[in-house]
Amino acid sequence: MDGRNILSWLNRSNVLHRVSKPARYVGGEWNSIKKDPERVKLRVALLFPDIYESGMSNLGLKIIYDILNSMEGVHAERAFLPWFDMLEEMRRSKIPLFSLESFTPLGEFDVVGVSLEYELSYTNLIMGLELSGIPILSSERKSPFPLVVAGGPCTSNPEPVADFVDLFVIGEGEDVVVEIAEILMNMKSRGASRFDILRELSKLDGIYVPNFYDVDERGVRIPKYPWVKEKVSKRIVNFRRLRNISKQIVPNIEMIHDRGMVEIMRGCTRGCRFCHAGIFYRPVREREINDLKESVIELIESTGFDEISLLSLSSSDYTKIVELLDSILPELERRKIALSLPSTRMGTFDLEIADKISRVRKTGLTFAIEAGTQRLRNLVNKGIEDEDIYETLENMALRGWKRVKLYFMIGLPFEEDEDLIEMVNMVGRIKREFRFREVNVSVSVFVPKPHTPFQFSRMITLEEAYRKMRILKGMRRFAKLHIHDPRRSMIEGVLSMGDCRIGEVILKAYERGSIFDDWNEGFKFENWMDAFESVGVNPRKYLEEKDPKEPLPWDHIDLGLDRDFLVREYEKAKKGEITPDCRTGKCHLCGVCFKLNFSNDLVGDFKTGGSKRRG
């Protein structure tokens, strides 16, 4: 079946009248890119393993789409997974998963690039492959193309999905996707074999090909051939020199994050000991104000969004945030375009920033407090104090914000019941003192993540989680409380910390009907427990405390962190000791700058904000 048949099915079968949000499936968006097939040498399908609204909210997808389509001879197209109603229609009519630009089945592309942003999308990856007619197991793919390439934060531990992926991009993809495309165009023209193509690609920094490794008796990956790297180091880009995305695609329907996005900096060295993103994207790199202003204006003029979001892991930490706001706000005010800082940090979000971003209209603000006591926040190295919390919220209230959203975690290492009781008390005080019309509190269960200091920590059991949740029920008197399903967190924990044996569990869960596990409509805990039992895997094995000296499934993946640093941080956590942000000038020998030959790249002087004893 080709693109014309699929387009005919969409037009003539009335399927678009029978499914919810049919605009998910028709493409043709403003700024989407189509190319003359006669001039295309390499076809790439960028598969985001979730529905359209989620994928089109992802800036990384837009960046890679823009970069690949800027290359002569390369055409990158987008694909997203169908929701349950459309999935049923496609299976009934034997319609394969297709791209939105040309309605081509994914099995006809040279490359299927998959973005792995969260572990609970792993069954979706399998669904995407099966729906595309691509063999689920990499070992069963014999022809050179398509190659299944995966990137994104989850590749820091690729082992749970290693059986399904031909090669992984470890780290940042902006440079390496160009190198991959150039090699593939060359080798495709020469009729190279699948093995030779993968061998050539494996020579690139940041490329991991699982089939070139064996697994020893300890569960550790070892090279199968003498020319295979023992460790794969992550790729990192010169963020300041990245090209602007001149024309972001304007979605057909409202997105989960329905706004234009400009990434102002990448990385974070605050050093929260639970935070995977802070490790994965180290070191900190900022873009120049003039470049950012140019990006904002281009984005406005090419899309028509009425809200612009300045993205980073902590936007208020951008060293010249006030100057940046002064530079872009006059243009935004003139056009009546709102500005949001979706990720803001208490202690650096002050009255001046509050005044500036509320000049057009007040957008949503979310703050991650994580824990209710200073003891526990010190233990996780959060680096904010009660004074920072209450001062920040007072600034919001004084400037007219009526709603606030707060994030907390339960089950953090070394947590005590008193920490939870004080969390309830803190939310009550916030409601009483600042009189917000609405206080929304989101609580999730701590999930240990690879390459973080807390990778050695245990994850609490479901019974412990439910007991802790009962302590928090009193919070409902002053806040709208949402607690993430601890069963889903447990599955996320196993997928985060698992080895290659978990791949069989994922496949069994999928065969039992598990898809869209990150959605309430899709998650079925019993499918996962049946899958663990059928494979003979005890999920708790992956969630218990680990000896720092023992090998881990991701030891062959090098994000630049020295294990000694992670062990030191874990020991400091036990003592409740803080490690200051290295942007203050003191190096803590984490290893990233030395191994990756790239250090923090700031446009101004870093100020910690809040308490002086943190910096």
The pLDDT confidence band at residue 361, using thresholds 50, 70 and 90, is confident
Structural domains of the chain, count: 2
Model pLDDT for residues 92-130, shown as the tens digit of each residue: 999 999 999 999 999 999 999 999 999 999 999 999 999
346 and 291 within one domain: yes
pLDDT at 609: 59
213 and 304 within one domain: no
323 and 189 within one domain: no
362: domain CATH number is 3.80.30.20
Rounded alpha-carbon distances, angstroms, from residue 534 to 161, 510, 539, 593:
18, 13, 12, 44
pLDDT at 483 over 60: yes
Asked whether residue 240 is domain-assigned, the answer is no
551 and 432 within one domain: yes
Strand 232-233 with 260-263, pairing: unpaired
Asked whether residue 513 is domain-assigned, the answer is no
11: domain CATH number is 3.40.50.280
pLDDT at 611: 42
108 and 206 within one domain: yes
* DSSP of 264-332: -EE---S--TT-HHHHHT-S-EE--HHHHHHHHHHHHHHH--SEEEEESSSGGGSTTHHHHHHHHHHHH
Asked whether residue 35 is domain-assigned, the answer is yes
Interatomic CA distance for residues 523 and 521, integer angstroms: 6
pLDDT at 568: 98
Q: Helix, strand, or coil here: 409?
A: strand
Interatomic CA distance for residues 358 and 330, integer angstroms: 13
Contacts of 320 (CB under 8 A, 6+ apart): 286, 289, 603, 604
pTM for the whole structure: 0.95
pLDDT at 256 over 70: yes
301 and 224 within one domain: no
**Does residue 360 or residue 577 have the better pLDDT?**
577
277 and 200 within one domain: no
Asked whether residue 510 is domain-assigned, the answer is no
Domain end residue (candidates: 216, 233, 250): 233
Mean pLDDT of 28-50: 97
pLDDT at 275 over 80: yes
Contacts of 100 (CB under 8 A, 6+ apart): 25, 26, 27, 28, 29, 32, 77, 78, 79, 80
pLDDT at 570 over 90: yes
pLDDT at 214 over 60: yes
Q: Which of 305, 319, 320, 322 is nearest to 262 (CA)?
A: 305
Asked whether residue 527 is domain-assigned, the answer is no
pLDDT at 349: 79
Asked whether residue 243 is domain-assigned, the answer is no
272 and 340 within one domain: yes
Contacts of 81 (CB under 8 A, 6+ apart): 48, 49, 50, 51, 87, 97, 124, 127, 128, 131, 515, 516
Asked whether residue 521 is domain-assigned, the answer is no
pLDDT at 614 over 50: no
489 and 404 within one domain: yes
226 and 268 within one domain: no
For the chain, the average pLDDT equals: 94
Model pLDDT for residues 452-463, shown as the tens digit of each residue: 999 999 999 999
Residues spanned by the domain of 180: 3-233
Model pLDDT for residues 146-204, shown as the tens digit of each residue: 999 999 999 999 999 999 999 999 999 999 999 999 999 999 999 999 999 999 999 99
Cβ atoms within 10 Å, residue 416: 11
204 and 112 within one domain: yes
207 and 59 within one domain: yes
DSSP 524: -
Asked whether residue 601 is domain-assigned, the answer is no
